[in-house]
Amino acid sequence: MVGGKTAGERIFNLTTVAIMIILMVVTLYPFWFSLISSLNSGADLARGPVFLMPREFTFGSWTAVLSDPGIMKALWITASRTLIVTAVSIFYTAMFAYAFSRSYLRGKKFYVVIGFISMYFSGGIIPSFMLMNWLGLYDHYLVYILPALFGGFWNVIIFNANYKALPEALFESAKMDGASEFRIFLQIVIPLSKPVLAALGVFTAVGVWNDYGTTLYFTQSNDLQTLQYMILRLIQSNRAVENMMSMQGTNLAVSSLLNGTQGQGPVTAQTIELAAMVIASIPMIIMYPFAQKFFVKGVLVGSVKG
Amino acid sequence: MSSRKQKGFRLGYDFWTQFELKLMLVPAVLLIFVFDFSPLFGLLIAFKNFEPIMGIKGIFTSEWNHFQHFILVFQNFQFWPMVRNTLGINLLSALIGIPVTMLFALLLNEIKHHKFKSLVQTVTYLPHFLSWVIFGGLFITLLNSAGIVNVLLMELHLIDKPIQFLADPKYFWGVAIGTGLLKDIGWGAILYLAAMAGVDQSLYEAAAIDGAGRIKRMWYITIPGILPTLMVLIIFAVSGMLNNNFTQIFVLQNSLNLPTSQVIDTYVYQTGLLQFQFASATAIGLLKTVFALLLLVGANALSRKLTKTGLF
């Protein structure tokens, strides 16, 4: 910047920094709070909340959550669907986008039209429910996989903008040499699109890992619960007890998880809830900073310009 | 395409290449038809005497009922409160969220210390990547009657008895708007920051030489520079006015705050999937989709007229 620092500038800078620090504290503190509470004895927590550090440290709630068969089952369902859906949907979407981005694709208008219709029109929840039932996907593991295998037209637009930035001469010379479209896609386009593949892969994985709607709408058996859904039911059942509200039925997996916590021991329903929340957010917390650098450059700039 | 290419060698237009390309399009097209388009037939039941027991055939064989579901929807005593909650939460979220996020991005852009700036960004992105179950669950715990927020407010003698943030309908809109803002402020700022990076830096230098201070430069250079981005975000906000964030509201909702927390999406879920009123739930969903499209087209037209930028 040009010019020296006046008193006004200095006040402006200090205020800005102060606002940013407050915002960071407000953002981070809830996570810190839940982490220390989940590592604190539940009986002690009932006397009053902990603020900065655990008062009576215990791993009890963490071990209780991590050794619960219901949680483990939910973790398996969530992790397996996240891996499968991310891998396949990124591949299908990238492949669709490649064919779509070729200037010599015949009948491109058709694909534009179905793409935009799929973005703006939806049958909504009830027609989807009827479809899943009819296809036999209701209350089946595949309901987590099949409907999610295409990443949506929005991702196609982002891929398309990124492919357009690749040098055209590369494709032309590969075609002259007789390379097939599949080969160009697999051996030229994919290696050159790593940033956008990584960024959209992270988005997809985050979306699938965090989704509880599919479980809520399209499944009913305890064997098919996802981690997020189980935590939701845990929160709801704890709140219902606190506020003496009526609950819509009880969840077997949740009640068996809470079974060992009757009374006022070191592990209570509240610490179980917090421990489950902290554990379920660990993968996201680990993953997002790695992919962060791709977001601004790889994805958003491309899509804004495109 | 140049005329030379069109007349002469037309790379890629041969049968085999076209066949290969179509093959690459097939998986996605099939998925779109099965999972996005085929449910559109289900919308027919909004106009028919359909019962879930009839099965999939019933969509086509049941009788038309002359908009009876739509008439009943408007007569339903729960309808207007639900529309009020939907619009209220969304409108206030946009009115508060858009300026606050923009202000945050403006201030962040003024920070020249690179490491501090990226630290702030990394920290404020975090909540965006966590599910509403976890983020909402954290705030349910914090805002509990014995939770840390109430304990602090009592210690500071600002209140005499705990505020029932989630059990008292009075506070639900505030909780929904506040948590929504905190979850996405960092992420929302990315688009503004990308737009700000595109502003011509020499404008700032010229303005500084002319004696314009920080705030004047922000007002006369940065804000006009990010106006197109701002308009796109406003169009999205307007077209999403009827679309509540179901995942958020459903987590924060409970039977006590229902008067202010029941929105269109949660109502459709409740009556449709829990009470099996398929036809009327579909009718409400369809009404919502149609009005949302009208809002999108309207907002886009208005934006094009006023600022000459739009989505399409």
pLDDT digits (tens, 9 = 90+) for B293-310: 999 899 888 888 887 777
Q: Could you tell me the residue ranges of all domains in chain A?
A: 66-221+285-305
Residue B141 lies in a domain: yes
Task: Tell if the CB–CB gap between A146 and B137 is shorter than 8 Å.
Answer: no
Task: Tell if the CB–CB gap between A127 and B39 is shorter than 8 Å.
Answer: yes
Residue B68 lies in a domain: no
- Is the minimum CB–CB distance between B81 and chain A shorter than 8 Å? no
At A264, the pLDDT band (50, 70, 90 cuts) reads low
Task: Tell if the CB–CB gap between B144 and A242 is shorter than 8 Å.
Answer: yes
Write out chain B residues lying below 8 Å of A106, CB-based: 13, 18
Residues present in chain A in total:
306
Same structural domain for residues B37 and B182? no
Distance from A268 to chain B by nearest Cα, in Å? 14
DSSP A44-70: HHTTS---SS-SSB--HHHHHHHT-HH
Domain A66-221+285-305 fold: MetI-like fold (1.10.3720)
At A296, the pLDDT band (50, 70, 90 cuts) reads low
Residue B312 lies in a domain: no
Write out chain B residues lying below 8 Å of A118, CB-based: 32, 36-37
Same structural domain for residues B33 and B171? no
The average pLDDT across B3-26 equals 75
Same structural domain for residues B48 and B81? no
Same structural domain for residues B154 and B26? no
CA gap A225, A221 in Å, rounded: 7
Same structural domain for residues B21 and B134? no
At A248, the pLDDT band (50, 70, 90 cuts) reads low
Task: Provide the pLDDT for residue A243.
Answer: 67
Question: B167-220 pLDDT, tens per residue?
Answer: 899 999 999 999 999 999 998 898 888 888 888 888 888 998 888 888 888 889
Residue B57 lies in a domain: yes
Q: Which of B88, B102, B246 is nearest to B185 (CA)?
A: B102
At A302, the pLDDT band (50, 70, 90 cuts) reads very low
Instruction: Return the C-alpha torsion angle A44, A46, A48, A51, nearest 10.
Output: 70
The residue range of the domain holding B55 is 11-61
DSSP A116-152: HHHHH----HHHHHHHHHHHT-TTSGGGGTGGGSS--
CA gap A263, A248 in Å, rounded: 24
Which residue would you say has higher pLDDT here, A44 or A294? A44
For the cut 90, the answer to whether the pLDDT of residue A238 exceeds it is no
Same structural domain for residues B229 and B88? yes
Backbone angles phi, psi at B48, to 5 degrees: -130, 165
ipTM of the complex: 0.89
Task: Provide the pLDDT for residue A2.
Answer: 42
Same structural domain for residues B137 and B207? yes
B122: domain CATH number?
1.10.3720.10
Same structural domain for residues B146 and B290? yes
The average pLDDT across A236-256 equals 73
Write out chain A residues lying below 8 Å of B171, CB-based: none
Same structural domain for residues B261 and B181? yes
Distance from A252 to chain B by nearest Cα, in Å? 19
The average pLDDT across B115-139 equals 93
Task: Tell if the CB–CB gap between B120 and A24 is shorter than 8 Å.
Answer: yes
Same structural domain for residues B120 and B236? yes
For the cut 50, the answer to whether the pLDDT of residue B6 exceeds it is no
Write out chain A residues lying below 8 Å of B143, CB-based: none
Residue B187 lies in a domain: yes
Same structural domain for residues B148 and B276? yes
- Total structural domains in chain B? 2
Same structural domain for residues B52 and B172? no
